[in-house]
Amino acid sequence: MRIETTDLADVVLLVPQPFRDDRGLFTRTFDAEIFDAHLGRPGASAGFVQDSQSRSAQGVVRGMHGRSGRGEAKLVRCARGAVYDVLVDIRADSPTFGRKQGFRLDDTDFHHLYVPPGFLHGFQALSDLADVCYRIDRPHDPAEDIGVAYHDPDLAIVWPVPVTVVSSRDAAAGSWRELLRHVR
């Protein structure tokens, strides 16, 4: 596994190195020693306390979600199919505050993202079915949930395929301008 930097401060892309042969493939999707060394924090990977998985049909958008308070760090990967994954930096003191970046995560290349606390996160399923796995460093507290509507004009996220289904919660989420009042 190698680690690549991204255009967003502190976000990294983990790039496994699959071994393919006539049986199929084998890949190590995570290596704590490499991850901790890259972050410069021995034991950082041991802080993950919860694994979750979602399954979505093509066109479904989930997001844009975040956490208030201390936020949460997570590792995100697509175990089945493909998704377009989007991050928005909401850390007021960050050099990339307000910037967004999209990533293709799929079950071919096995790339996955380290998302530090202080980001909005969402994705759209690109394949017939997509399973997204999250490794999270804090138990979920619904009282800390924050969000911005997936179609907010100020975020101007261009979803790659037509949006088919969005939860009522995500459709009714607040605006980027409302969130700015709380994070600045």
Q: Which residues are catalytic?
A: 65, 134
CA-wise closest residue to 83 among 118, 117, 120, 133: 133
What would you report as the CA-atom Rg of the chain, rounded to the nearest whole angstrom? 16
In angstroms, the CA 122 to CA 126 distance is: 13
Q: CA angle at residue 35 from 61 to 26, to 5 degrees?
A: 75
